[in-house]
Structure 1
């Protein structure tokens, strides 16, 4: 990464020093900022800690939001990191929160190091290496879900408390305020519009399957904490294993949404040499997740679980299609968001294959085939 220096970075460092000083009760000095990217709404940097009055690591990561970011979004990320940081060490899904301030729109996090991105691992030509990686991914999801089962009330308390810090006015947060859930609902509401635009009819019950999947955001038997975007772009592998990053849309949802999200997003990152192993990799990810959560949720049958994951995956594929057809030009940085029509076509094909392999999905397998064909004509003639 490149060491950077400009007015924006200087102000971010000063804000981070301020929130760290309040935590330590003495001054803290940061230097040597490295740009780690961001979403367009946020600035993310790594900085060296020159003064270390509270035994901080030698480097920290600072995330700062701009003034156009809704306060509710900043509040949600602060509360999400507070919640995750309070989990037992072995169950923490990502970096720990060291300090934060809602008014300053700044979070200071532990530095996970450089590590290896999941995107890079998936691009490997070594099928065994990729399989180990996706299995670790599934295990990490399962550990996070298992550790947070029953913790929704605690999370709600943190949302309220975090909004009152430093006298800031708390933003109103509701269970449906998880960002991506609202986007998914909008995509299903546009069902008839999308089908009309690409000139296709789907089997009876197709819309109902998507609508039923929306309920997983607010209900479901397997509610657990989720950062929301658990795709490969937001995963780092280091000495502690799989680490999830970016909690802007952290929320309690049905855990099968996360598994389905991973299954929908990782195949696009596979190398040509490993692409043929996709079905086995999907099975490895799902089995690893199930191994972690099965002791807590033994009542669900394998077939019932497979059907629910299929339905959730169908919703994610539908949402990515909706974004592309509508020409979405927002600053979404979710792994699900793509501007490549070939990726969306592949997602529909993979969905149909998964339904046939697990003998689930019913008429929606045919719907996936029809969508793939209609979209191919729509985009490529």
Structure 2
């Protein structure tokens, strides 16, 4: 921590002290450091592993757009290090969803969906800017815009399923080709990439996004799917009250329509959302099924409460089994559900703790998220 603090201080031209480790990850160390004037900054130092170097480039480029997130104060390429404004110790969206206050959870979810939608709509003209910034901070790794992760997942899915002891129905490859990339390049918008609940701060000034390690432009459908699935790639996945996912999705859509009027057409929107749900289900299956066949483990090492890997997969597969416009795709997940019914003796995914004690009248005791209009 001392070497990181010294390097960040030299970058800012001031003395930093009293570093506090905020956790970070295998890719990075994140510190809160005191400044000489009595304030504080956040310092994020990355390792030299390929995944960390791509995360550094994405975060430096994404924050440099100044569309969302903390103010970027300084960047060093060697060693890869960022200094950001300190947004304080506000609770995250994960904190309120796992807490006891349903009203606070609803407000947080509504602000999150609207904030993501506004960010997407306001960013559509900045794609070339992000590409130029990526080139400025490039560490030799392909950008997330250029990463063919969706086709790679589709190619890997049959092998993952067979390795788990299930069978692949005829027609799956054709269905995956029809699902494609959930809108492809038609409706791209900027996203920090990892918009999970623990990367969203509920501050007195409103929602603030953090963690831009996967910043990119992607289809609005892929981002909107986080609202209704919910949280397509995250650990903090529980059941939302009936209708709430759809209400959150509509909040996002109302903002996105400002950039892409075609999204006001229900046929366009619903088709894109079904494809996005399929894309993320394939992603979850490829990532998690090999792990789940060995043992059922928590989705997070330390946070509690937390669902298990098998609970999350079963929840994703139940929805995928209903995508009947892709019959072989839906049959794939029905087969997985049948295969695991006996061996995976786990309870259904529970609701978010904030919504476990609803008052009579509606699933949460109030109209879901109130008025979804502006």
Scaled by the length of structure 2, the TM-score of the pair is 0.78
Deviation (angstroms), 1:101? 0.9
Partner residue of 2:154? 188
- In structure 1, what is the Cα distance between the partners aligned to 2:23 and 2:313? 26
Once the two structures are TM-superposed, the CA of residue 64 in structure 1 deviates from its matched residue by 0.3
Return 5+ residue gaps in structure 2 as ranges.
Answer: 347-374
Which structure has more helix as a fraction of its residues? 1
Q: Which residue of 1 aligns with 2:59?
A: 77
Could you tell me which residue of structure 1 aligns to residue 83 of structure 2? 108
**Structure 1: runs of 5 or more not aligned:** 1-8, 22-27, 53-57, 164-169
Task: Work out whether 1:341 is the aligned partner of 2:310.
Answer: yes
Structure 1 residues 173-201: Cα deviation after superposition (integer angstroms, max 9, x where no partner):
356545xx53x443321222123234445
Counterpart of 1:60 in 2: which secondary structure?
strand
Give the match for residue 65 of structure 1: 46
CA RMSD of aligned residues (A): 3.2
Contact 2:122 2:259 in 1 (8 A): no
Shift of 1:108: 0.4
CA gap 1:129/1:212 in 2 versus in 1, 3 angstroms: farther
Q: Which residue does the alignment assign to 1:36?
A: 22
Instruction: Determine the structure 1 residue equivalent to 2:125.
Output: 150
1:316 and 1:288 map into 2 onto residues whose CA distance is 20
> 2:291 aligns to what SS in structure 1?
coil
Whether the aligned pair in 2 keeps the contact of 1:216 and 1:253 (CA below 8 Å) is no
Q: Is the contact made by 1:209 and 1:311 (CA closer than 8 Å) also made in structure 2?
A: no
Match 1:288 to one of 251, 271, 276: 251
Contact 1:136 1:288 in 2 (8 A): no
Match of 1:153, SS state, is helix
- 1:48 has 2:34 as partner: yes
Q: Deviations over 1:324-353 (max 9, x none)?
A: 222399xx99x9x98621121122224556
2: distance between equivalents of 1:285 and 1:160?
35
* Equivalent residues in 2 for 1:157-306, closer than 5 Å: 157-163=132-138, 171=140, 173-174=142-143, 176-178=145-147, 182=149, 184-201=150-167, 205-216=171-182, 219-266=184-231, 269=236, 275=239, 277=241, 279-300=242-263, 301-306=265-270
Change (3 A) 1:34 1:172: closer
SS class of match (1:228) = coil
Q: Secondary structure at the match of 1:220?
A: coil
Q: How many residues align?
A: 333
Conservation of the 8 A alpha-carbon contact between 2:317 and 2:337? yes
8 Å Cα contact 2:33/2:40 also seen in 1? yes
Q: Give secondary structure in 1 for the equivalent of 2:17.
A: strand
Q: Contact between 1:352 and 1:366, CA under 8 Å: does it hold in 2?
A: yes
Mark the CA change 1:324 to 1:175 in structure 2 (over 3 Å): closer, same or farther. closer
Deviation at 1:233, TM superposition (A): 2.4
Q: Does 1:16 align with 2:8?
A: yes
Q: Is the 8 A contact 1:236 1:244 kept in 2?
A: yes
| Alpha carbons of structure 1 residues 112 and 244: separation in structure 2 relative to 1, 3 Å | same
d(CA) in 1 for partners of 2:119 and 2:61?
Answer: 16
Instruction: Summarize deviations over 1:29-88 as a string: whole Å, max 9, x none.
Output: 111211111111210011111148xxxxx11111001233453432222111111x2x3x
Q: 1:212 to 1:250 in 2, by over 3 A?
A: farther
